[in-house]
Structure 1
Amino acid sequence: MKLITRKMWGGPASIGSYANPTKGCVAHYNGGAIGLIGKPHLACYDYVRRVHRQHLNQGWAGGGYSALACPHGYVFEMRGLDRQQAAQPGGNSTWYSIQMMVGGNEKPTPEMIQAWRDYRTYIRQRRAVASAIRGHYQFISTSCPGTPTKRLIADGTLAGAGSGTPAPGGGSGGGGTVPHMTSVRPVRDQQEAVNDLGYTPRLEVDGKFGKLTLAGVEWLQEELGVTVDGLWGKVTEAAYLKRTGGAEPYPLPAGHWYGPESVDPRNHSGFWERDRPAIRKIQDKVGVKKDGRYGPKTKDGVAAWQRRAGFTGRDVDGLTGPKTWRKMFG
Structure 2
Amino acid sequence: MKLVTRRMWGGPASIGGYANPTRGCVAHYNGGAIGLIKPGKPHAACYDYVRRVHRQHLNQGWAGIGYAFLACPHGYVFEGRGLSHQQAAQPGGNSTWYSIQMMVGGGEQPTDLQIQAWRDCRTYIRQRRAVAAAIRGHYQFVSTSCPGTPTKRLIANGTLAGSGSGTPAPGGGSVTVPHMTTVRPVDEQQKAVNRLGYEPELDVDDVFGPLTLKGVEWLQEELGVTVDGLWGKVTEAAYLKRIGGSAPKPPAKPFPLARGHWFGPPSSDDRNHSGYYWPADRPHIKEIQGKVGAKKDGRYGPKTKAAVTAWQRKAGFTGRAVDGLTGPNTWGRMFG
Question: TM-score scaled to structure 1, two decimals?
Answer: 0.55
Name 1:34's counterpart in structure 2.
34
AA paired with 1:42?
Answer: A
AA paired with 2:161?
Answer: A
Name 1:151's counterpart in structure 2.
153
Q: Quote how far apart the aligned CAs of 1:64 are.
A: 0.4
Between the aligned residues of both structures, percent identity stands at 84
CA contact (8 A) 1:118 1:161 kept: yes
Unaligned runs of 5+ in 1: 182-193, 198-208, 232-330
CA contact (8 A) 1:24 1:132 kept: yes
Name 2:47's counterpart in structure 1.
45
How big is each residue's C-alpha offset from its partner over 1:259-301, in whole Å with a ceiling of 9 and x where there is no partner? xxxxxxxxxxxxxxxxxxxxxxxxxxxxxxxxxxxxxxxxxxx
Alpha-carbon spacing, 1:180–1:50, altered in 2? closer, same or farther (3 Å)? farther
How big is each residue's C-alpha offset from its partner over 1:111-162, in whole Å with a ceiling of 9 and x where there is no partner? 0000000000000011100000000000000000000000000000000000
Q: Which moved more, 1:20-29 or 1:213-222?
A: 213-222
Q: Secondary structure at the match of 1:167?
A: coil
How far, CA to CA, are the matches of 2:129 and 2:108 in structure 1? 31
Alignment of 1:225-240 (within 5 A): none
How far, CA to CA, are the matches of 2:169 and 2:215 in structure 1? 31
Alignment of 1:1-330 (within 5 A): 1-37=1-37, 38=39, 39-167=41-169, 169-170=171-172, 176=181, 218-219=217-218
Name 2:262's counterpart in structure 1.
none
Q: Secondary structure at the match of 1:158?
A: helix
Q: Secondary structure at the match of 1:71?
A: coil
How far, CA to CA, are the matches of 1:160 and 1:217 in structure 2? 36
AA paired with 2:16?
Answer: G
Alpha-carbon spacing, 1:217–1:176, altered in 2? closer, same or farther (3 Å)? closer
CA contact (8 A) 1:5 1:169 kept: no
CA contact (8 A) 1:75 1:115 kept: yes
How far, CA to CA, are the matches of 1:166 and 1:215 in structure 2? 27
Alpha-carbon spacing, 1:12–1:168, altered in 2? closer, same or farther (3 Å)? farther
How big is each residue's C-alpha offset from its partner over 1:40-77, in whole Å with a ceiling of 9 and x where there is no partner? 11110100110111111110000000010000100011
How big is each residue's C-alpha offset from its partner over 1:86-130, in whole Å with a ceiling of 9 and x where there is no partner? 000000000000000000000000100000000000000111000
CA contact (8 A) 2:8 2:173 kept: no
AA paired with 1:56?
Answer: L
How far, CA to CA, are the matches of 1:52 and 1:105 in structure 2? 23
Question: TM-score scaled to structure 2, two decimals?
Answer: 0.54
How far, CA to CA, are the matches of 1:117 and 1:82 in structure 2? 19
CA contact (8 A) 2:4 2:173 kept: no
Runs of 4+ aligned structure 1 residues displaced above 4 Å come to 213-223, 228-231
Alpha-carbon spacing, 1:41–1:31, altered in 2? closer, same or farther (3 Å)? same
How far, CA to CA, are the matches of 1:214 and 1:82 in structure 2? 34
AA paired with 1:78?
Answer: G
Alpha-carbon spacing, 1:171–1:31, altered in 2? closer, same or farther (3 Å)? closer
AA paired with 2:4?
Answer: I
Q: Quote how far apart the aligned CAs of 1:167 are.
A: 1.4
How far, CA to CA, are the matches of 2:138 and 2:95 in structure 1? 14
Q: Quote how far apart the aligned CAs of 1:169 are.
A: 4.0
Q: Quote how far apart the aligned CAs of 1:3 are.
A: 0.6
Q: Quote how far apart the aligned CAs of 1:170 are.
A: 2.2
Name 2:271's counterpart in structure 1.
none
Q: Secondary structure at the match of 1:149?
A: helix
AA paired with 1:165?
Answer: T
Alpha-carbon spacing, 1:168–1:5, altered in 2? closer, same or farther (3 Å)? farther
